Structure 1
Amino acid sequence: MTHDHPAAPDRGASRPFGRLLTAMVTPFTPDGSLDLDGAVRLAQHLVDEQGNDALVLNGTTGESPTTTDAEKEALIRAVAAAVGDRARIVAGVGTNDTRHTIELAMSAEKAGAHGLLVVTPYYNKPPQSGLLRHFTAVADATGLPIMLYDIPGRSGVPIATETLVKLAEHGRIVAVKDAKGDLTATSWVLARSDLAYYSGEDALTLPALAVGGVGLVGTSTHFTGALAKQLIEAYDAGDTATALSLHRRLLPLFTGIFRTQGTILVKAGLAAKGLPAGPVRPPLVDATTDELAQLRADCAAAGLELPE
C-alpha cells in the first residue's frame, strides 16, 4: 500500500470521496430538536447547487458533541436516502473512546454511509501507539473506507508521520482530512504512502494541492462550494493562474468563516439565505448582529451576496 519512492498522485484514481466535500451543519428546529426535513433540503442544496461530491455528516461542524447516537443515525439515514445516489455520505464517528467509536461506525454503516471520518481521540491524549491501535480497531470493525481526521488544535495530539504511514498499510484507511497546518509533514506522508489528502482548512486548499493533495473538506463551502470546486478543477487542469485567482478571491470567506466557531457563522449565513439551519446547541451560542454583519462583509469581499 505504500510507495518506496515519491510519486505524483494519480488524481483520477486516488480520490475516494471526490474533490469537494462540505462538513455539513446539522439543522435544528427552533426548539433545538433535530430537523430531518431541513437536513434533507440543505444536503440537496449542497450537492445540487454547490457541487459537492460528498457530504460529511456528524462532524464537529455538525455539532456532533451535542447530538445523540440516535440522532446521528437518523441524520445519516435521511440524507443518504435523499442524495446518496449522487454524492457520497461520510459519517463522522470519532470519539475519545475506541469502543464507542466502533459502535458509531457500525451504526453509520447500517444507516447507509459510504465512508467514515475518524478524528484523533481528543482530551485523553493517547500516545502514538494508542492512536495506531484505535484507528486500526475501527478499520477492522467495518467494511467502509476511512478518512482519518488529523486536527491537533482540537484533539491535543497530532498523528505523527510514521503513524500515518503505518496506518496507510490498512486496506480501508484511504484518506486524511488534514487540519494540522504543517505542509512539510503532509509532504512526507504523501511521499511515503498512497493516502488521499484532503485539506481540512479552507484557506490551505491550493497549497495542499500543490504538494499532492486531492481536494477539500470545507466549512465555508456551504457558500463557496461551487467556486472552491472550480479552484480544484482549474489546478487539476494545469491552470494554476485561475486557481490562484480563485484562492485569492475566496480568501476573505475561507478565513472569515472562522472568526468565531465555524458552525455559528455557517448557521447564521444559511438562515440569512433562507436555507435550513436553526439555532446552535449549548455550549455554542448563536451569532450576534455584529458577527452576522461581519460575515456579510466577508461574503461581499469574496464576491458573494448574503441577503440582509
Structure 2
Amino acid sequence: MSDGLRRSIEGGSTVVDFGRLMTAMITPFNDQDEIDWEATGRLIDYLIDEQKSESLIVCGTTGESPTLSEEEKLQMFDFAVKHAAGRCKIIAGTGSNNTKHSIQLTQQAAKLGVDGALLVVPYYNKPSQAGMYAHFKAIAEATELPIILYNVPGRSVVSLSAATTLKLAEIDNIVGTKECASIEQVTHIAGHAPEGFRVYSGDDATCFAAIAVGAYGVISVASHVAGDEMAGMIQAHLQGDYQHAARMNQKLLPLFQGLFACPDPLPNPAAVKYAMSRRGYGNGNVRLPLLAPSAAERAFIDALL
C-alpha cells in the first residue's frame, strides 16, 4: 500500500480514503480498435482537473473489461498510475468469475503501483453467498491492496447480500463496496458496517438518495461529463444545504437516466463513449458485442449534453 493511502487507525478501525467522487473511466480506442494512449492521457487530465474525480476506476465495466486482454489491462494500469502521478487514486478493475485469475491480476496490478482494486461479484457462475464470501476472502488474503467490492446484480445475476457484505467488511483490507442492488441494501450496510467501511453508490440516479441514507460517495459514469456538478451536489448535501443539493440532483437526473436509456436501454459504455468523443476523447468506438449508438441515439445524447 502506498504511503499516501496507508490506513489510519481511528478507534481500532482502519480507513482508506478514495474520495467522494470516483469515476469509472472509459477506455478510448482508435480507428484500429486499439487503445488510444494519447486520448487516454488527456482523458485522465480532464477527469482530474475539470471533473474533480478523486479516484479513477481503470478497466472496470465502463472501461470494457470483458473485451480487454490481460496485457491491455496491465498496460492501462501502468499508464494510469504513471500519468496520474499521484494527482488522484488509481483503482484497478481486477475482479472476474475466476478466483485464481483475479488473484493473479490483482497481484500484478499491485506491482504496478495501483492504489486499490475493485472486485466485481462473480458473474455467470451463480455462486452461493458462501461461495462469494470465499472468493473475495481468498483474493483479499493474497494482496495488501485495499479492496472495494462491487455488487451489480443486473450484470452478475447473483447479488451479494447485505449480511455477506458485512461479514466481508470485517476483513482488514476490504474497505468498501460499490452497491447497485437497492437503496434498502445501501441503508442496511451503511448502518451496520464497521467504522471506516465505506459504501459507494454505483448508480448515478440514486447517488443523492444513497448519500442521504449513509453512503460515503459515488462511483460514477456521468462524472465524465458532469463531475464538477456532481461534486458540488455531494458537498451541498454534506454541508446540510439539502434543498440546493436536491435541485442539483433534479437538474442532473435526465443526464443520469439518459446515458443508460436513449430512449431505449443502451449498454454502458456506448452512450458515455459517444459523449466523450464529442469532447475530443477518442472516437466513441466500443468493441463487439457492444455497438455504437445509432443516429437516433446520437441525436438524443447530443440533446442531453
2:209 & 2:283 partners in 1: Cα distance? 31
1:115 & 1:37 partners in 2: Cα distance? 24
- The answer for the alignment partner of 1:7 in structure 2 is none
Structure 1: gaps (5+ residues): 1-9, 300-308
User: Can you list the C-alpha shifts for 1:192-229, whole angstroms capped at 9, x where unaligned?
Assistant: 11320111000101100011101111111110100001
2:252 & 2:85 partners in 1: Cα distance? 28
Residues 1:109 and 2:115 aligned together:
no
Aligned ranges for residues 202-213 of structure 1 at < 5 Å? 202-213=204-215
Residues 1:184 and 2:184 aligned together:
yes
Letter of the structure 2 residue corresponding to residue 186 of structure 1: V
The verdict on how the C-alpha distance between 1:84 and 1:204 changes in structure 2, with shifts beyond 3 A counting, is farther
Structure 1, 22-31 or 272-281: larger mean CA deviation: 272-281
Letter of the structure 2 residue corresponding to residue 131 of structure 1: M
1:293 & 1:227 partners in 2: Cα distance? 23
Tell me the matched-pair count. Answer: 287
Offset of residue 298 of structure 1 = 2.0
2:138 & 2:57 partners in 1: Cα distance? 21
Offset of residue 15 of structure 1 = 6.3
Offset of residue 262 of structure 1 = 2.2
User: Can you list the C-alpha shifts for 1:231-289, whole angstroms capped at 9, x where unaligned?
Assistant: 11111111111110110000010110001112111111111112235411110111112
The equivalent position to 2:286 in structure 1, one of 280, 291, 301, is 280
2:283 & 2:19 partners in 1: Cα distance? 25
- What secondary structure is seen at the aligned counterpart in 1 of 2:92? strand
Aligned ranges for residues 226-245 of structure 1 at < 5 Å? 226-245=228-247
Aligned ranges for residues 55-204 of structure 1 at < 5 Å? 55-180=56-181, 182-194=182-194, 195-204=197-206
Contact 1:38–1:277 at 8 Å: present in 2 too? Answer: no
Q: Percent identity?
A: 39
Scaled by the length of structure 2, what TM-score is found? 0.91
1:14 & 1:230 partners in 2: Cα distance? 24
Offset of residue 131 of structure 1 = 0.4
Contact 2:121–2:150 at 8 Å: present in 1 too? Answer: yes
Offset of residue 184 of structure 1 = 1.7
Letter of the structure 2 residue corresponding to residue 40 of structure 1: G
- The answer for the alignment partner of 1:306 in structure 2 is none
1:279 & 1:60 partners in 2: Cα distance? 15
2:278 & 2:284 partners in 1: Cα distance? 11
2:167 & 2:71 partners in 1: Cα distance? 33
1:177 & 1:277 partners in 2: Cα distance? 29
1:193 & 1:200 partners in 2: Cα distance? 18
Contact 1:16–1:175 at 8 Å: present in 2 too? Answer: no
Scaled by the length of structure 1, what TM-score is found? 0.90
1:173 & 1:166 partners in 2: Cα distance? 10
Contact 2:24–2:60 at 8 Å: present in 1 too? Answer: yes
Letter of the structure 1 residue corresponding to residue 290 of structure 2: L
Structure 2: gaps (5+ residues): 1-10
- The answer for the alignment partner of 1:261 in structure 2 is 267
